[in-house]
Amino acid sequence: MKIQIAEVDINNALSRSGLPDLDYALNPYIGCAHGCLYCYAKMYTRFRNVVDNWGHIVVVKRNLIDVLSREVKRFRKGIVGLGTITDGYQPIEAIYKLSRKSIEILVENGFKVSIQTKSSLILRDLEILKRYRDFIDIGITITSTNNTSLIKLLEPFSSPPTARIKALKRLSNEGIKTWIFYGPVIPGYNDSIDEILKIISLAKETKSMLYIDKLRVKRFMWNNKHLRQIAQMSIKYNWEKFYENILELCRDEGIICRLGFEYSEEDKKLDKYIKK
């Protein structure tokens, strides 16, 4: 697939994060070449041409490293989420290395970094990640454990599930703190008991916390026939029963589970359920 690349200058590298457990967000790129059909990030992307051509246009923040180098000297130390509305390890990172350089700058200036990715390219930086493992955690999105035709449709240009699982295991084996993002959970696709058991087993093997996130139905989904179908199924789905089942299985295996990135009152109830 041919990707159109543009470059822009920015005034700010770090932004305040609205996500629990993160103080800042850092997104080296605007847009994402993985082109996931369901991606919510397009709702928070300010470039209209990138949104309208999601997965086909990526904008590089060419002066990111210079701006970040100044900000880390004057910002309060905290936890930085790398790739909250883009994937810092999408293919273009192999050329620009903005995520790699950002990690080094952040850690060397007293910040901690939390990374989420769907890309096995992260293994390129294994030596750096090992060096800074006391200051880094890495989450791998595992939508499915199988390379199905639907995964290729929904996540056309991200690393296949087998490559992501291999990356997760390698990172964990190197003593790096890892977590799994199991989402979006799509009824009739990746919610089977067999799939759940495989993901829980993977979490146990890699000592990973498990985040579970249902498909969050958004307005843009109704414009795509594939998304419209799964959105309709999601609305009618018994999510309470699904969470009850998966959390019981997590409890039995001693796996810590959370709902998405939101630690809500519902999460607290689920914690109580897990500890029964």
Amino acid 262: pLDDT = 55
124-179 pLDDT tens trace? 999 999 999 999 999 999 999 988 778 889 999 999 999 999 999 999 999 999 99
Of the listed ranges 27-36, 213-222, 241-250, 257-266, the least confidently predicted one is 257-266
Amino acid 192: pLDDT = 94
Residue 77 clears pLDDT 90, i.e. is over it: yes
The torsion region of residue 97 among left (phi > 0), alpha (psi -120 to 50) and beta comes to: left
Position 65 confidence tier, pLDDT thresholds 50, 70, 90: very high
Mean pLDDT estimate for the chain = 93
Residue 194 clears pLDDT 70, i.e. is over it: yes
Position 18 confidence tier, pLDDT thresholds 50, 70, 90: confident
* Mean local confidence (pLDDT), 249-271: 71
Domains of the chain from N-terminus onward: 1-117 (no CATH), 139-276 (3.80.30)
Amino acid 133: pLDDT = 97
Amino acid 266: pLDDT = 46
3-state secondary structure of 248: helix
Position 271 confidence tier, pLDDT thresholds 50, 70, 90: very low
49-61 pLDDT tens trace? 999 999 999 999 9
Residue 84 clears pLDDT 90, i.e. is over it: yes
Amino acid 273: pLDDT = 41
- Dist. CA 246–CA 192, nearest whole Å: 10
Residue 272 clears pLDDT 70, i.e. is over it: no
Element (H, E) at 58: strand 57-61
- Helices 193-206 and 161-173, axial angle in degrees (round to 10): 30
Given a contact cutoff of 8 angstroms between Cβ atoms, the answer to whether 182 and 210 are in contact is: yes
Radius of gyration of the chain (CA): 18
Given a contact cutoff of 8 angstroms between Cβ atoms, the answer to whether 186 and 234 are in contact is: yes
Residue 118 clears pLDDT 60, i.e. is over it: yes
What is the DSSP-derived secondary structure letter of residue 85?
A: S
Whose tokens are 């979006």? That residue is 184
pTM of the model: 0.92
- The token duo for 106 is 């952040």
Residue 256 clears pLDDT 60, i.e. is over it: yes
Amino acid 270: pLDDT = 43
Residue 229 clears pLDDT 70, i.e. is over it: yes
Q: pLDDT > 90: what percent of the chain?
A: 88
- Measured in residues, the chain has a length of 276
